[in-house]
A and B are shown apart, each in its own frame.
Chain A
Amino acid sequence: MAKTINLLAVCGSGTVSSTMVAEKASSYIESLGYNVNSQELNPQQASVRIPEGQFDLVIYTSPIPGTFEVPIINATGLLTGIGEEQVYSEIKQALEK
């Protein structure tokens, strides 16, 4: 049974761009052999929910107020299509830890 990654994607209101990056990141993470459970939130919801410890990885297109222990990756590249590879390699690194 493959390990399940709980992914959180954050954008302005957890609606449009977080969904788009979550989709791309999920299919990448799945291609590495994991299962993905993804959720979208806005920055303020995220700063409350991340410390609860239910997420393994956080990606964002909008900065999240606060500092956290979970790996947090700027996924803007997945939205613009510029620098996608770098985002993917950061995700991979974070998962390998």
Chain B
Amino acid sequence: MQTFKTIMDTFGPNIFVPVVIFVICLFMKLSAKKAFNSAILAAVGLVGFSMITDYFTPVISPVVDKMVKIAHLNLPVLDIGWQATAVIAYSTRIGMIFIGILLAFQIFLFAIKWTNVFMPSDLWNNYSLILWGSELYLITKNVWLASFLMLFGNVVCLLYSEMIAKRWSTYYGYPQCTLSAPHQVCNVPIALGLNYLLSKLGADKIQLNPEKIQQKLGFLGDPMIIGFIVGMLLGLIGNFTTLTSIASWGQILTTAVTTAAVMTIFPKVGSIFAASFSSITAASQKSMKKGGREWYVAVNDALGYGETATLTTGILMIPFALILAFILPGNLIVPVMCLTGFAYDSEINVALADGNIFKALIMDILIFAGQLYIGSYFAPMFTKIAKETGVTMPKGSLMVIGFVAANILMGLITIAFLTKNPIIIGAVVILYVIQFVYYKRNKRKVTDIIEKHSDYSNALSKKAKVS
């Protein structure tokens, strides 16, 4: 363990992550050339990521600092978005080792027919599980408990992934595909409950036209525009009392263009880093065996993103997210990078609401409110692992979070594990086992109930759907 620590400290994630990727590639029987290419892509992505945070942190942190001190808004936690969250998760001490373990575990679970979802084909989104394990490891220093949390989280995800498979693939029109991204499917139980409740309250009667809203507000979906607007907004709030001074305007506009730049460039860097996973993902798909059963292939949540009702719900979420963050007592997070990603988080809600964007939006808002609290709770831990991976952090009290690290269900499970109390952890596991056994025995019934509660023959959205 000591040697391992020395190696990690000496080389750091920029070296260690590519090495592990190289080894996994060889293990998946890829050529040395492809393995080397994947490894270098990871390294380039990681270095690019540091370049951006090194530049962005000194610009944004004084503004957030001013917001806290001058405007008395206690929002010291900066949302750095899912791409950064993924890079951090993969750079933690146990992160890269775990991607290998999870990959093997998921192929195994599919082979023994524990699940009918082939999860390795969305390998990338495993960062979500690694994150919780890394936080638990950081606090408890117990590598076994952290491993158990990740594997347990994985089977929980698979259960909900199976439950939502029929609905998601039907609504989005991708036969045999489903989501397995932990930060999405862990919302399934909450979304099912909300969907039922909102129907009872009559939310199905209100219909909005997503196409018209999309045409008017579509520009908000461009990360560059939203980055500029939000940077400007934060700058204005921070300099609220000194709006007559030239220096204030310098800071406001600098923050606006820098945030716009970061939000535009970050997906590019993320894309370089993600490219290092594509060969492994493609290789893992060779172990998809059909075996004559009904099965689903896990896909990236990008597949539903552009559907009109989904995209529109995601855009409508932007102002609500900002308002919630500013008014909810006890929230510490200022949402920035998450603002262009709400369409991802809307997918399960939109599918369950069968394209009713009014209902999906309410579900989005309620879930996001919960995430603000989970995220506020986990921000200190997340910030610590971010520092461990070498993210430039300013002096002072500024913290960071990504909303993937604010998932309600995974957050609650992790809180249970953090107690280290075997009774509490045992209770959580039993709760899962009960659901698992019930679902496996009444699979058809559960699927039918979900379909029944999601079928409103919503002519409007059906017409607007892009195939």
**Quick one: which of A12, A45, A79, A82 contacts B305, CB cutoff 8 A?**
A12
- Contact string, B62-96, partner A, CB cutoff 8 A, digits 1/0? 00000000000000000000010000000000000
- Contact string, A13-55, partner B, CB cutoff 8 A, digits 1/0? 1111111100110000000000000001011110110000000
Are B222 and A15 within 8 A (Cβ)?
no
Chain B residues contacting A10 (CB-CB under 8 Å) are 306
Query: A63 an interface residue at 8 Å Cβ cutoff?
Result: yes
Query: B223 an interface residue at 8 Å Cβ cutoff?
Result: yes
Known contacts A42-B267, A45-B222; A81 and B306 CB within 8 A of each other = no
The residue on A at minimum CB distance from B224 is A45
Known contacts A15-B270, A81-B285, A81-B288; A63 and B275 CB within 8 A of each other = no
The residue on A at minimum CB distance from B220 is A44
Query: B307 an interface residue at 8 Å Cβ cutoff?
Result: yes
Chain B contact residues: helix, strand, loop or mixed = helix
Are B303 and A62 within 8 A (Cβ)?
yes
Chain B residues contacting A60 (CB-CB under 8 Å) are 306
B151-159, B337-345, B425-433: which lies at the interface: B337-345
Known contacts A12-B301, A12-B305, A17-B303; A65 and B121 CB within 8 A of each other = no
Are B302 and A80 within 8 A (Cβ)?
no
Q: How many residues of A contact B (CB 8 A)?
A: 31
Known contacts A61-B303, A62-B302; A80 and B83 CB within 8 A of each other = no
Cα distance, A42 to B277, chains bound together (Å): 19
Are A63 and B306 within 8 A (Cβ)?
yes
Cα distance, A13 to B304, chains bound together (Å): 12
Chain A residues contacting B297 (CB-CB under 8 Å) are 80-82
Cα distance, A63 to B176, chains bound together (Å): 18
Query: B108 an interface residue at 8 Å Cβ cutoff?
Result: no
Are B223 and A42 within 8 A (Cβ)?
yes
Q: How far is the CB of B428 from chain A (nearest CB, A)?
A: 30
Chain B residues contacting A14 (CB-CB under 8 Å) are 267-268, 271
Cα distance, A60 to B8, chains bound together (Å): 39
Are A79 and B299 within 8 A (Cβ)?
yes
**Quick one: which of B121, B124, B270, B306 contacts A62, CB cutoff 8 A?**
B306
Q: How far is the CB of A5 from chain B (nearest CB, A)?
A: 19
**Quick one: which of A11, A40, A43, A48 contacts B300, CB cutoff 8 A?**
A11
Are B311 and A65 within 8 A (Cβ)?
yes
Are B278 and A23 within 8 A (Cβ)?
yes
Known contacts A44-B218, A81-B282; A76 and B174 CB within 8 A of each other = yes
Cα distance, A17 to B300, chains bound together (Å): 7
Query: A64 an interface residue at 8 Å Cβ cutoff?
Result: yes
Chain A residues contacting B341 (CB-CB under 8 Å) are 12-13
- Contact string, B417-461, partner A, CB cutoff 8 A, digits 1/0? 000000000000000000000000000000000000000000000
Q: How far is the CB of B288 from chain A (nearest CB, A)?
A: 7
**Quick one: which of B288, B300, B306 contacts A65, CB cutoff 8 A?**
B306
Are B275 and A18 within 8 A (Cβ)?
no
Cα distance, A79 to B301, chains bound together (Å): 12
- Contact string, B117-150, partner A, CB cutoff 8 A, digits 1/0? 0000100100000000000000000000000000
Cα distance, A52 to B378, chains bound together (Å): 44
The residue on B at minimum CB distance from A74 is B467
Cα distance, A20 to B303, chains bound together (Å): 13
Cα distance, A17 to B176, chains bound together (Å): 17
Chain B residues contacting A79 (CB-CB under 8 Å) are 121, 299-300, 303
Chain B residues contacting A61 (CB-CB under 8 Å) are 300, 302-303
Which of B219, B275, B300 neighbours the largest number of chain A CB atoms within 10 Å of its CB? B300
Chain B residues contacting A13 (CB-CB under 8 Å) are 83, 223, 267, 270, 302, 305, 340-341
Query: B221 an interface residue at 8 Å Cβ cutoff?
Result: yes
Q: How far is the CB of B127 from chain A (nearest CB, A)?
A: 11
Are B121 and A80 within 8 A (Cβ)?
yes
Chain A residues contacting B268 (CB-CB under 8 Å) are 14, 40
**Quick one: which of A11, A20, A44 contacts B275, CB cutoff 8 A?**
A20
Which residues of A line the B interface, CB within 8 A? 10-20, 23-24, 40, 42-45, 47-48, 60-65, 76, 79-82
Closest 5 CB pairs of A and B: A44-B221, A12-B302, A12-B305, A62-B306, A11-B302
Q: A23-B275, A47-B218, A79-B303 are in contact. List 13 more A-B contacts (CB 8 A).
A: A12-B300, A13-B270, A16-B274, A19-B275, A20-B274, A20-B278, A40-B268, A42-B340, A62-B306, A76-B303, A80-B297, A80-B299, A81-B285
Which residues of B line the A interface, CB within 8 A? 83, 121, 124, 174, 176-177, 214, 218-219, 221-224, 267-268, 270-272, 274-275, 277-278, 281-282, 285, 288, 297, 299-308, 311, 340-341, 343-344, 466
| A-B CB contact pairs (8 Å), 26 listed | A10-B306, A11-B303, A12-B300, A12-B306, A13-B83, A13-B340, A14-B268, A15-B83, A16-B274, A16-B277, A20-B278, A20-B282, A23-B275, A23-B278, A42-B305, A42-B340, A43-B306, A43-B311, A60-B306, A63-B466, A65-B218, A76-B174, A79-B299, A79-B303, A80-B299, A82-B297
